[in-house]
């Protein structure tokens, strides 16, 4: 049986599981700060509508995104504004060792500023 600490992390673990596919990572990054119609997501991923729909359902089930049906169109938005920052940070972690020193410093500073901006935007 899991202890109280690990049980409390179960929902968060579901979020990370839902992010475990390149297409879903692309979707959450694309939803950063905006809503998108399913048709635009399909066009951006270059995948079949049914495949994108399945990816969106995984994200919706994990409460990463929410859907808003407007007439014949369904729009999605992120419920975790921090996920695109996390994805960018992790991607940069892999790139930094291969950059020249001055570019490493610039990349780290850019990441730091993005995190600070996000933290300042949070409602207390």
pLDDT 10s digits, 85-121: 888 888 888 888 888 888 888 888 888 888 888 888 8
- What angle is formed at CA 86 by the lines to CA 94 and CA 117, rounded to 5 degrees? 120
Contact 95, 110 (CB under 8 A): no
The per-residue pLDDT for range 65-91, each reduced to its tens digit, is 999 999 999 999 999 988 998 888 888
Beta-strand runs (E) in 54-95: 65-70, 73-78
Q: Which residues pair with 65 in a beta bridge?
A: 78
pTM: 0.82
Q: What tokens appear for 29 in the block? A: 């990054």
């Amino acid at each position: 049986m899991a202890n109280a600490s690990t049980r409390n992390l179960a929902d968060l673990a579901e979020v990370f599981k839902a992010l475990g596919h390149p297409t879903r990572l692309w979707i959450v990054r694309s939803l950063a700060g905006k809503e998108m119609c399913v048709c635009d997501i399909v066009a951006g991923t270059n995948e079949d509508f049914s495949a994108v729909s399945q990816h969106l359902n995984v994200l919706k089930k994990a409460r990463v995104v929410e859907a808003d049906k407007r007439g014949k169109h369904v729009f999605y938005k992120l419920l975790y504004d921090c996920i695109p920052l996390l994805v960018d940070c992790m991607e940069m972690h892999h790139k930094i060792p291969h950059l020249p020193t001055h570019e490493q410093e610039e990349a780290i500073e850019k990441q730091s500023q993005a995190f600070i901006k996000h933290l300042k935007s949070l409602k207390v």
